[in-house]
Structure 1
Amino acid sequence: MAEPTTPHYPDDEIDLRELFATLWRGKWLIIAFTIVFAAGGVFYALSQPNIYQASALLAPAQNEGGSRISGQLSGLASLAGVNLGGGDGANKTVLAKETLRSRAFLTDFIHRHELSVPLMATTAWDMTNERWVINRDIYNPETSEWQKDDAGQSQEPTNWDLVKAFRELLSVSDNKDTGMVTVSIKSLSPVAAKDWAEKLVQDINEHMRTQDVQEAEASIAYLEDKLRQTNIAGMQQVFYQLIETETRTVMLANAQREYVFKTVDPAVAPQEKSEPKRALIAIVATMLGGMLGVFIVFVIAFIRSGKEENIEPEVYKGV
């Protein structure tokens, strides 16, 4: 009768009982790390100010009449060396979205609406009095001057700093299926978030309208100059048609209040914060504390096991 063989386990095989025993021995260390990280996470979450987000839903405004006329006369315009205004609506929408994020547009927007102080020198929004809480170490509201730092340099932000700060608050997204565009702004103030979102939509419409009007007026001046230089009746008729088209572009641009984007759902002052997610922060901090505690317990156990293996041969030799 064959003797039963004793199963052999390699030295590096994980023993679940030993694993749980190690965790049980280090339970107080794990609990301590978990409590400390949980308390730190709660403190950090409560110390963060509320952030509010206002969003405006926009639809691309397309001038079908102008596009149709431009299409009919595009061949003639190319012969005359003129680029007709009011081109493809889709391309104009893409251009408007990129302009909305551009450094030049945002710099002009920030300075026009005097947003430097709300962006760079505020710590909170006073809900009761509906006004900004100014950090007087950075800006003095009485003298309207920026304070100096410890090195004696003015803390007035540069255009680069202003645009960088505003871009962190701005979000422009579009729905590929419907073509709708959403412009969102975050701020410590729900009133400011709504106000800035509305002004962004107004300013981008005005910016694109002014740009198209200037291009159309430049084309009209060029065509009128060419008209005076030619005596050919056929070319004169072509120039008259092109001038009429550019004049129509100017008229339609000035008549449309929402030139590029039509507001489907205007921005409103939010009543609920969008950030921070305090419960999520506390949960993540607690989990990190627990995992760090488990990791340290295993590291300590590994170090102790290594020391015990070094001691055993010496004991054996002494015996």
Structure 2
Amino acid sequence: MKERMPDVPAQWVHTTGSDEIDLRELFLVLWRQKVLVLLVAGVFALAGIAYALLAPQVWSANAVIQTPQKNDLLPMLRVASQAKLLGITDFPDSKVLYDEFVREFNTYENRRAFLKDSPFFKELVKAAKLDERGQRLWIREWSKYISADTVDKKGEKPGVILKFSTDSSDQALAMLEGYIQFIIAKQQQRLVSELKEQQSIQLDTLMMNLKLIKEDAEQALKREIEGTVLTIAVAKAAGVERPLENYNIGERFPITLGTKGLEEQLKVLKAMDLTLYQPKLLDLQAQIDRLQQVKLDGISFRPFSYLDAPEAPLSRDKPKRPLIVVLTTLLGGMLGVGIVLVRHAFCRPEQA
């Protein structure tokens, strides 16, 4: 009768299950299938290179600005110093002009108008044969590459960075400079228009005042002439030919001058220029003439100062070619490794 072996506790027994991973075996499998892994990685690398070379390029030209200095506004200040003396006072200060420039720079209507009239857009429309919808989509997409943002969101550093992106370095710089001048010209036109409107309103007011005073003066002169004629008649009837002394001049028809004096007075009144009779007419006409001499068309200014003037970009924003090639190669390598491991898992013999 055979002796029975003693029982061994289960925790002392080491068993190998089919679900355990043998790293050495996996490395050997990958090594044997290295050609497949390299082939997949190579295909993805070539695809990445092709995309990096063919993808649209984006180059960005930048400039940093701050509130304008006195020299930037000097031509406008010269006109303003004269115009303010004549009542044209709606000249904005440097902060208002600066804030307006940044706001107008970011306005979509301005970006669309500038892009639509640019040679860049016209050449692309002609080359790509874009229809009306395609043109709108293109403008909407490229307008995203025009922006004016604060340099430091926390406000610790001054300035606003202006950005304009296109598909080439030189064109990005040209478009940024062109768009800056486009916004400045629009600001100048708006300011001139507003000031001319104020000038026109003041001229209308002065001319209306001149007209009313002139009419009143004409009526007053006419009444005085008529009164003098009646007074002469009264003086003749009273037989007063020479001026009288100590005569009450509060009468309605004062005859103290006598007929000879009154006739001379009548002659002077009939020959008198209206501006001599009413001197206010000369003052008003002088104000009108001075106001009309104020020339507002030549107003020019730059609503900012450069902290960093525009320059042609030295590197593209997109695509990042080295990064694209590296990432696609890594993706291809991982995919190749995954293919090899999946094939090995399905081809691996089942263990009992």
What TM-score results when the alignment is normalised by the length of structure 2? Answer: 0.53
Cα deviation digits, residues 265-301 of structure 1 (max 9, x gap) = 3323456555443222221221111011112222223
**Are 1:181 and 2:224 counterparts?**
no
**Contact 2:33–2:340 (CA<8 Å) still a contact in 1?**
yes
Which residue in the other structure is 2:104 paired with? 99
Q: Which of 24, 31, 42 is the aligned partner of 1:17?
A: 24
Does the 8 A contact of 1:107 with 1:162 survive in 2? no
Contact 1:119 1:162 in 2 (8 A): no
* Counterparts of 2:119 and 2:134, CA distance in 1: 14
Is residue 302 of structure 1 aligned with residue 345 of structure 2? yes
Contact (CA 8 Å) 2:125, 2:135: kept in 1 or not? no
Identity of aligned residues (%): 26
Q: Tell me which residue corresponds to 1:265.
A: 308
Partner of 1:110: 115
Name the structure 2 match of 1:204.
183
Radius of gyration: which is bigger?
A: 2
User: Against the structure 1 CA distance between its residues 301 and 111, is the aligned structure 2 distance closer, same or farther, given a 3 Å change threshold?
Assistant: same
Measured at CA, do residues 174 and 161 of structure 1 come closer, stay the same or move farther in structure 2, by a change above 3 Å?
A: same
The CA deviation at 1:103 is 2.4
Question: Which letter does structure 1 place at the counterpart of 2:104?
Answer: T
In structure 2, the residue matched to 1:166 is 142
Q: Is the partner of 1:267 in helix, strand or coil? A: strand
In the alignment, the residues of structure 2 paired with residue 199 and residue 163 of structure 1 have an alpha-carbon distance, to the nearest angstrom, of 17
* Count of residue pairs brought into register by the alignment: 243
Q: Return the alpha-carbon distance in structure 2 between the equivalents of residues 101 and 7 of structure 1.
A: 72
**RMSD (Å), alpha carbons:** 4.3
Give 1 or 2: higher strand fraction.
Answer: 1
Report the structure, 1 or 2, having the larger helix content.
Answer: 2
Q: Which amino acid aligns with 1:32?
A: L
Partner of 1:41 in structure 2? Answer: 48
Q: 1:288 to 1:253 in 2, by over 3 A?
A: farther
Q: Distance in 1 between matches of 2:12 and 2:135?
A: 80
Distance change in 2, residues 1:186/1:120 (3 Å): farther
Change (3 A) 1:119 1:62: farther
Instruction: Specify the SS of the correspondent of 1:185.
Output: strand
Task: Tell me the CA shift for residue 34 of structure 1.
Answer: 1.0
User: How far off its partner does 1:179 sit?
Assistant: 2.7
Q: Distance in 2 between matches of 1:85 and 1:296?
A: 73
Residues 67, 94 of structure 2: 8 Å contact kept: no
SS of the residue 1:42 aligns to: helix
Deviations 1:100-148 (A, max 9, x none): 2322112221244444224444xxxxxxxxxxxxx3xx4xxxxxxxx5x
Assess if the C-alpha contact under 8 Å between 1:205 and 1:261 holds in 2: no
1:39-88 CA deviation, whole Å, 9 max, x = no partner?
22223333456654322222232789x9xxxxxxxxxxxxxxxxx76378
Residues 182/211 of structure 1: CA separation in 2 closer, same or farther (3 Å cut): same
Q: TM-score, normalised by structure 1?
A: 0.58
The one of 13, 26, 44 equivalent to 2:33 is 26
Question: Contact 1:41–1:282 (CA<8 Å) still a contact in 2?
Answer: yes
Per-residue Cα deviation, 1:176-197 (whole angstroms, up to 9, x for no partner):
2323222233333433222111
Unpaired runs of 5+ in structure 2? 1-5, 77-89, 210-290
Alignment-derived partner of residue 288 in structure 1: 331
Confirm whether residue 86 of structure 1 aligns to residue 86 of structure 2.
Answer: no
CA distance in 2, matches of 1:292, 1:274: 29
1:217, CA displacement in angstroms?
Answer: 5.1
Q: Distance in 2 between matches of 1:165 and 1:200?
A: 17
Aligned to 1:238: none
SS class of match (1:17): helix
Aligned to 2:322: 279
Q: Distance in 2 between matches of 1:289 and 1:191?
A: 36
Call closer, same or farther: CA 1:304–1:96 in 2, change over 3 Å: farther
CA change 1:8–1:59 in 2 (3 A) is farther
Aligned to 1:155: 131
Residues 255 and 17 (structure 1), Cα distance of their counterparts in 2 relative to 1, 3 Å cut: same
Q: Which residue pairs with 2:282 in the alignment?
A: none
**SS of structure 1 residue aligned to 2:310:** coil
